[in-house]
Amino acid sequence: MLGLMQQKNLLLSSIIQHAARWHPRGEIVSRMSEIDVSRTNYAETEQRSRRLANVLARLGVKHGDRVGTLAWNTYRHLELYWAISGMGAVCHTVNPRLAPDDVSYIMTHAGDSVVFVDLSFVLLVEEIAPVIALCVHHVVLLADAANMPTLTLPAGMTLHCYEALMDQADDTFDWPEFEEIRPARCAIPPARQVGRKGFCTATVPQCCMPWPAMRRMPMRSERWTGSSWRRRCSTRPPGVGPMPRRWPVRP
């Protein structure tokens, strides 16, 4: 006898589809600069995420490949978050505040094949391009054709314009079904942090864990065990013992 539990994998693509279906006019506001503010909604974001998934496929991204991002928290970065993980690839968000040597080490260690870059990090990418050329084959600038800067890249690396690729892609894309335990995001620590290991985050924790718990600061009404954290991270930081059975309630 079958129970009443759902028989569908918890995937990130199902979240954006739910938002587009039931909250299509939900507004997403991004401050692109001091004077430029972009406004979109969940319906348009889901449609553009499908188009972006076709762009990634044209760039050769396959299931399980790592795709790096050097970007601020804008609507384009949000589209990358849904499209990369939704198509079965691994979204690798790189901290742009790190030193150039650390950024190049992180990208090569993760094996990023495509990197999406905001305009404010063009000089950084140009500096580390000779090193990351070992694995990165495509650099996509998050801009339109009118704001594309000149960028010198070594042989084997191709420069693309984000909006130009989006205009050429089709927005018809069927989100694939795969096991919910497949990795959706990854993080690699800098090389100078000896002893620390990178980890991958599966789709399930991102779908079902409350965001305060993911920040390791549970709300008063929330309880979750250490096993949930160990399921989300493959390793604990050095010197950290077993997680407590239950998190203490904040006063």
What mean pLDDT, rounded, does the chain reach? 82
Question: 10 Å Cβ neighbour count for 13?
Answer: 25
Check residue 248 and report its DSSP letter.
Answer: P
Whether residue 235 has pLDDT greater than 70: no
CA distance 12 to 184: 8
Q: What is the reported pLDDT for 134?
A: 93
CA distance 23 to 231: 31
pLDDT in tens, 86-145: 999 999 999 999 999 999 999 999 999 999 999 999 999 999 999 999 999 999 999 999
CA distance 52 to 171: 8
How much is the pTM?
0.79
Per-domain boundaries in the chain: 12-168
Whether residue 244 has pLDDT greater than 50: no
pLDDT in tens, 2-59: 666 667 888 999 999 999 999 999 999 998 876 789 999 999 999 999 999 999 999 9
Contacts of 212 (CB under 8 A, 6+ apart): 218, 219, 222
Dmax over Cα atoms in the chain, in whole Å? Answer: 63
Q: What is the reported pLDDT for 208?
A: 52
Alpha-carbon Rg of the chain, whole angstroms?
A: 19
For residues 117 and 139, the answer to whether their CB atoms sit within 8 Å is: yes
**Mean pLDDT value of segment 190-213:** 57
CA distance 79 to 148: 20
Chain centroid offset of residue 108 CA:
17
Q: Which fold has domain 12-168?
A: Rossmann fold (3.40.50)
